[in-house]
Amino acid sequence: MRSSIILVIIFLLAAISAAFLIADKKDTEVMIVNVTLARPPDDDTEKIISTVGADASYVKRMEIPGDTPLFTPGITVMVLQDQKEKTGWNSIAIPQSGSIYRKYSLTVRLLDPIDKSKPIKILARVVSPTGTEMSVKMTEVMVS
């Protein structure tokens, strides 16, 4: 009797482990948002967001990024489509000292699927160390 209970428990643990392994193999769509900061010719900090782009990507379910706090100084992004939020606000820190001018990539979890036949809008903001907006840029892109 006791050995059959142990076998049942072992079987249940093996079944649960197999279910988690199978579920983790399923890929989930995310957005990779790229924001490039470059020194503007006139040194106007409102124009430091040079380019913004996005690509669809896939990650394992266990690798889906969670919500991020607002980093200051940092870059925050949100993806919209058809005037609806497709992501929450996501943030990445930028250096407080030294050069901030380079390309930054943020992996963003989608709240709703993207319709790839329609453009998306990416709202990108650069936030100063004090938490105020330094630069804002809305960019419309097609995602493949």
The pLDDT-based confidence of 125 (bands split at 50, 70, 90) is: very high
Q: How far apart are CA 122 and CA 53, in angstroms?
A: 8
3-state class of 144 per DSSP? coil
**The pLDDT value given to residue 3:** 75
Report the predicted TM-score, pTM, of the whole model to 2 decimal places. 0.80
The pLDDT-based confidence of 4 (bands split at 50, 70, 90) is: confident
pLDDT digits (tens, 9 = 90+) for 21-62: 555 556 889 999 999 999 998 988 899 999 999 999 998 877
pLDDT digits (tens, 9 = 90+) for 66-106: 878 889 999 999 999 999 999 999 999 999 989 999 999 99
- Return the closest-CA partner of residue 127 out of 48, 53, 43, 26: 48
Residue with the bigger pLDDT between 23 and 15: it is 15
For the structural domain made of 27-141, what CATH number should be given? 2.60.40
